[in-house]
């Protein structure tokens, strides 16, 4: 007699899992809820480049952990480019998010929001941006900051073309000489990666298990990917789980060159805060009706709805990255210890997250996207694979027919069950 898990089928490498098979997975009851969980939000304070930062760690710890070959499973998640981790807890529909869904199946789920994206001034440690007008949102890096930025701290501009195709129509720039400018200058790509590293180290320590007794997996949704891949240099996972995951900056640039475009390295994006407003939201939701889109938009306003220093590394805006490092090098607040190895090493460290880590040689990768993904189309997935696969222990691509770039509840049920099948089948062993 067939069991429910048999309905969860996996495609051959690079193949498309057809809609009928996906419907069976989504509507079935494979991998049912097996436990409750406890939620905690913790802060990790540190200093980098002469400025204080706070890494947020959102943990959903199951009461009864699922084990694979005797190991507890820890999934580290990096959020998408308009979110701050709360989108993993509940969906735009107001339904259970992927974090609780995973935790109820015995896997410890830990979200590590990127620096600057958690609103520490919100009530009850919620991180929500609902009380800040969309056009006035700028990153907050330190939980000890007691005031929000003034409109005198930045200028607003109409967008005139950028690497992202999503329709962002407004951006903001911090004014030089302000505390906001200095803090954003200290928030280099390697600072964001170090925040992730500290959050992951905190999660591993909280689990209280030797590293060999933990199956450690990373998943970066969309923009989370380019900042989780480089963490492998210091804390290598056993595997990279994929769903709508963006790759490293150099892999993204490679996909651009395959279309004959070479403009990304020159984009003037240093310290740019790109607003993710209504045009951007519509880009991802053209397939739903106007009333539903409006309801989802109101829910989405609790998220940051901006990208700050992420774009330069994600899109390999190497000129902006170089300017960023050069300006920081001459900042009066930069500690002398940061200059000890010289300017070349300093610049290299700033740009290094754009490139694959040699430590990925021990990592298995399960990449997965929808065939209707609006930003990571199949050809981009394949172009990224060509760059990343030579560095990895194992690499496999799955494509889900008719799925978009989202983590709504039906997507969660489908992707989550496929993940559990992949994990249980020993792909990451």
Express each pLDDT in 173-188 by its tens digit.
999 999 999 999 999 9
Q: Kindly state the average pLDDT of the residues 66-88.
A: 98
Confidence of residue 164 (pLDDT cuts 50, 70, 90): confident
Percent of the chain scored above 70 by pLDDT?
Answer: 99
- The answer to whether 409 and 95 have CB atoms below 8 angstroms apart is yes
Look at 87 and 4; give whichever has higher pLDDT: 87
Q: Tell which residue, 410, 384, 408, has the closest CA to residue 395.
A: 384
Q: Is the pTM of this model over 0.95?
A: yes
Confidence of residue 162 (pLDDT cuts 50, 70, 90): low
Confidence of residue 1 (pLDDT cuts 50, 70, 90): very low
Percent of the chain scored above 90 by pLDDT?
Answer: 96
Burial of 122 (0-12, 13-18, 19+ CB in 10 A): middle
User: Over the chain, what HEC string results?
Assistant: CCCHHHHCCCCCCCCEECHHHHHHHHHCCCCCCCCCEEEEEEEEEEEECCEEEEEEEEEEEECCCCEECCEEEEEEEECCCCCCCHHHCECCCCCECHHHHHHCCCCEEEECCCCCCCECCCHHHCECCCCCCHHHCCCCCCCCCCCCCCHHHEEEEECCCCCCCCCCCEEEEECCCCHHHHHHHHCCHHHHHHHHHHHHHHHHHHHCCCHHHEEEEEEECECHHHHHHHHHHCCCCCEEECCCECCCHHHHHHHHHCCCCCCHHHCCCCCCEEECCHHHHHHHCCCCCHHHHHHHHHHHCCCCCEECCHHHHHCCCHHHHHHHHHHHHCCCCCCHHHHCCCHHHHHHHHHHHHCCCHHHHHCEEEEEEECCCCCCCHHHHHHHHHHHHHHCCEEEEEEECCCCCCCCHHHHHHHHHHHHHHHHCCCCC
- The answer to whether 181 and 331 have CB atoms below 8 angstroms apart is no
Q: What is the pLDDT of residues 20-51, one digit of tens each?
A: 999 999 999 999 999 999 999 999 999 999 99
Separation of alpha carbons 309 and 269, rounded Å: 8
Q: Are strands 170-174 and 154-158 parallel, antiparallel or unpaired?
A: antiparallel
List of residues 6+ apart from 116 with CB closer than 8 A: 139, 140, 141, 184, 187, 308, 309
Q: What is the pLDDT of residues 281-318, one digit of tens each?
A: 999 999 999 999 999 999 999 999 999 889 999 999 99
Q: Residue 186: what pLDDT?
A: 98
pLDDT above 80 (res 93): yes
CATH class of the domain whose range is 4-424: alpha beta
Domain boundaries, the chain: 4-424
Q: Residue 159: what pLDDT?
A: 87
Separation of alpha carbons 114 and 194, rounded Å: 10
Which residue, chain included where needed, has tokens 């040699």? 358
Q: Residue 70: what pLDDT?
A: 97
* Distance from the first to the final alpha carbon of the chain: 28
Q: Residue 2: what pLDDT?
A: 59
Q: Tell which residue, 49, 133, 12, has the closest CA to residue 399.
A: 12
Q: Residue 245: what pLDDT?
A: 98
List of residues 6+ apart from 347 with CB closer than 8 A: 322, 325, 326, 329
Q: Kindly state the average pLDDT of the residues 397-423.
A: 98
At 290, list the tokens.
Answer: 């106007």
- The answer to whether 53 and 60 have CB atoms below 8 angstroms apart is no
Separation of alpha carbons 315 and 141, rounded Å: 22
Q: What is the pLDDT of residues 219-251, one digit of tens each?
A: 999 999 999 999 999 999 999 999 999 999 999
Separation of alpha carbons 119 and 133, rounded Å: 13
Q: Residue 66: what pLDDT?
A: 98
Q: Tell which residue, 122, 152, 124, 158, has the closest CA to residue 140.
A: 122
Q: Residue 160: what pLDDT?
A: 75
Separation of alpha carbons 87 and 384, rounded Å: 26
Query: What is the chain's mean pLDDT, rounded?
Result: 96
pLDDT above 90 (res 363): yes
Q: Residue 312: what pLDDT?
A: 96
Q: What is the pLDDT of residues 129-140, one digit of tens each?
A: 999 999 999 999
């Amino acid at each position: 007699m067939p069991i429910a898990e048999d309905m969860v089928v996996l495609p051959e490498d690079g193949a498309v899992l057809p809609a009928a098979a996906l419907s069976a997975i989504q509507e079935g009851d494979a991998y049912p809820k097996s436990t409750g969980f406890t939620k905690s939000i913790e802060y990790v304070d540190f200093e980098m480049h002469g400025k204080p930062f706070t890494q947020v760690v959102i943990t959903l710890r199951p009461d009864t952990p699922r084990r694979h070959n005797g190991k507890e499973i820890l999934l580290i998640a990096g959020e998408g480019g308009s979110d701050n981790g709360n989108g993993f807890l509940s969906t735009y529909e107001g339904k259970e998010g992927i974090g609780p869904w995973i935790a109820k199946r015995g896997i410890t789920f830990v979200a590590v929001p990127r620096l600057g994206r958690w609103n520490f001034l919100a009530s009850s440690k919620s991180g929500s941006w609902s009380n800040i007008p969309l056009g006035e949102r700028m990153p907050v890096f330190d939980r000890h900051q007691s005031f929000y930025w003034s409109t005198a701290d930045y200028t607003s501009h109409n967008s005139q073309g950028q690497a992202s195709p999503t329709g962002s129509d407004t951006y903001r720039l911090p004014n030089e000489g302000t505390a906001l400018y200095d803090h954003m200058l200290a928030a280099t790509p390697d600072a964001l990666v170090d925040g992730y590293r500290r959050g992951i180290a905190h999660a591993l320590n909280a689990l209280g298990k030797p590293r060999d007794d933990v199956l450690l997996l990373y998943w970066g949704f969309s923009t989370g990917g380019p900042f989780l891949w480089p963490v492998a240099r210091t804390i290598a996972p056993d595997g990279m789980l994929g769903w709508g995951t963006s790759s490293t900056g150099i892999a993204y640039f490679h996909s651009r060159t395959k279309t004959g475009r070479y403009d990304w390295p020159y984009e003037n994006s240093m310290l740019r805060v790109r607003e993710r407003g209504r045009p951007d939201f519509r880009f991802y939701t053209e397939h739903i009706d106007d009333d539903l889109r409006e309801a989802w938009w109101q829910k989405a306003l609790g998220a940051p709805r901006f990208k700050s220093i992420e774009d330069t590394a994600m899109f390999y805006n190497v000129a902006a990255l170089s300017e960023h490092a050069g300006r920081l090098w001459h900042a009066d607040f930069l500690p002398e210890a940061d200059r000890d190895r010289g300017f070349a090493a300093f610049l290299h460290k700033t740009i290094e997250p754009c490139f694959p880590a040699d430590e990925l040689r021990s990592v298995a990768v399960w990449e997965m996207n929808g065939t209707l993904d609006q930003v990571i189309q199949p050809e981009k997935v394949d172009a990224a694979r060509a760059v990343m696969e030579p560095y990895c222990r194992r690499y496999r691509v799955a494509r889900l027919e008719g799925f978009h770039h989202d983590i709504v509840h039906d997507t969660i049920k489908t992707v989550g069950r496929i993940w559990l099948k992949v994990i249980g089948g020993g792909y990451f062993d």
